[in-house]
Structure 1
Amino acid sequence: MPQPAAVRPRRTLLGTSLRASGVLVVLLTLAWVAWTNFDWDWLQPRRKGPVVPPAIAEKKSSAETLKPAAALAPPNAAILEAQKSVVLLQADGPGGLIGVGAGVVIDHSGLVATSYHLSSDLTSGMARCHDGRVFAIAGYAAVDSENDLAILQLKDASGLPVAKLISDTSL
């Protein structure tokens, strides 16, 4: 004799409410994610052409009235000149050379002034100049750990641009 079909368990109000609450939480979460990540800029009307304030639009400028950048900002010219004597100090790391600090060339023969705390862990390294030249660091020429100063000697360095140093009494 065939067995009667199994009676399906009754769904309760509690179970239905829990399922509906779960679906609602998922839908609200998706709506919140979509709302916070949606790009609203495309809804703004597009402007036709550039917007120029009237004061600037009325002012006519010509090539004769424009001054060179160096004349407008003389300190920038000084900064560009000083950067020529700055070298990037690089140490041998697990993945190759890594930057550890900077130094300033104080002599054409390759003496570089830097902070002692930057160079104290250098066992071997390189100094990269602004023009792309690279020199190996031969070692210390002088060290003053109390004043955090180290003078490094670069190997086979010559003709390096030197920083112009002045006494603080002339300031």
Structure 2
Amino acid sequence: MAVNAQWLQTALLLGCLAWCISTDLLVRRIANRAVVILLLGWLLFGITDVVRLGGGNNAALQGMLWALPGAAVVLVVGFILFLTGRLGAGDVKLMSVLCLWVGSGHQIVFVLVTALAGGVLALTLPLFNTVPTAVALGIQATNRLFNSRLPLPPALPADLSQGIPYGVAIAFGAMYVLIFPLF
């Protein structure tokens, strides 16, 4: 039972992160639905762990509660960065919810890895700005080859193409901590 729940958690996390990465790269937006699904998934899996472990063991409940202050700090600092135009609202929400997923013991590592990945992302931004064009060309070729009518992604306006798709760095930080920690 626990192994199936672990696979389900990983599938939910990877699916939502892939969703966030793709929309952030193509339209520079992170879907609120993806963030809400992650939040509800954290609540559902956390409550399931609390119930499964029983009332005598409060470790799962304590783990959930200890994750809240760090996520709140990330939300407040992120909101300030959003107000100054340094970070997008979707990025702030995604990072706050993922702070809940990583738990209090790994939140600092998550934030640091995300910041480092964001620096690399900023250095490679010209490469990432070619992704929407490459996807559009791929869809056009598919439409010609298979005589289909797949819709093309919208073109990024010039002001958005300068923005950093920070959801990629946030997803990398979460995957580093939750799925395949290297150290």
Q: Which has the larger radius of gyration?
A: 1
TM-score exceeds 0.5: no
Q: Larger relative CO (CA 8 A, sep 6+): 1 or 2?
A: 2
Higher strand share: 1
Name the TM-score, length of structure 2 as normaliser: 0.22
**Greater helix percent: which structure?**
2
